[in-house]
Amino acid sequence: MPDQIVGAMGWPIEHSLSPAMHNAAFAALGMTDWRYEKMAIPPDIVRHSLKQMRENGVIGVNVTIPHKRAVMPHVRPDEIARRVGAVNTIDFRDNSATNTDVQGFMGDLMAHDVLPRGLRVVILGAGGAARAAVYGLVESGALVQIVNRTPENSAKLISEMRVDAEVADLSAVATTDVIVNCTSVGLYPHIDESPLPDDAIFKRGVVLYDMIYRPAQTRLMRQVEAAGGQAIGGLGMLVRQGAAAFTIWTGIDAPIVTMFNAAKAALTG
């Protein structure tokens, strides 16, 4: 049995792509004593489960829905996790925790030659994914506006995170340089839905980053491309946040191409 166990805790967790990409990375690097597992943890036993994993020698875990906020009182979140208000990576060796969604999102933006400084960016949504995007973009010098069906939630996010951002409505989409979809609208199986109306107007050359990766091309992505814009799906963010966690646990640079190919294969397989 492998000595080094890491994994993903969530509820549900069955459809996670993380085991495929991490175990492919371990195999590629000859790390035969490492294994990544799915850990289905109901919400009412989060604290007990963290204690059990720590006592049983689990190296660390990724944290996904619905536990990203629930784990915070039981770990040592860093500044990023505290500002975002959510944890997605824990290292049980010192009980430290961070949010690599920020690094994954910003890294994938830059990999697509999108440099946020000075750009006007509209964030669609005000949940946990939006918080990671807002933090990364504001810290990088972007001019951020948040659009949500309930404007009060946008205002609450700005207040809680103490960031320099604005509450906006859908009209802001017409003049923005970058749109980031942090909602689940358009996620499989609801692939015919979009967070924006069919007659939405886009700025020439607009860039859309849709955090959804299932399906690979959402209806929103097709809308933006039909208007002459650039659309980027969210698989790269998933891989890059996982790669950041891999390095935290192992101290080794993650083989990102291997992880991306494994995640893509698992997604389409």
Q: Please list the active-site residues.
A: 68
d(CA 266, CA 217): 16
The alpha carbon of residue 128 and the mean position of all alpha carbons in its chain are separated, in whole angstroms, by: 9
- Whether the link from the prior residue into 12 is cis, omega within 30° of 0, is yes
Quickly tell me which residue has 């935290």 as its tokens: 248
Collapsing DSSP to helix, strand or coil, 61 comes out as strand
- Give a three-class secondary structure readout of 184-220: CCCCCCCCCCCCCCCCCCCCCCCEEEECCCCCCCCHH
Q: By the 8 A CB rule, do 222 and 210 touch?
A: no
Collapsing DSSP to helix, strand or coil, 143 comes out as strand
The alpha carbon of residue 236 and the mean position of all alpha carbons in its chain are separated, in whole angstroms, by: 10
d(CA 169, CA 164): 17
Q: By the 8 A CB rule, do 33 and 4 touch?
A: yes
Task: Name the DSSP class of 63.
Answer: E
Task: Name the DSSP class of 3.
Answer: S
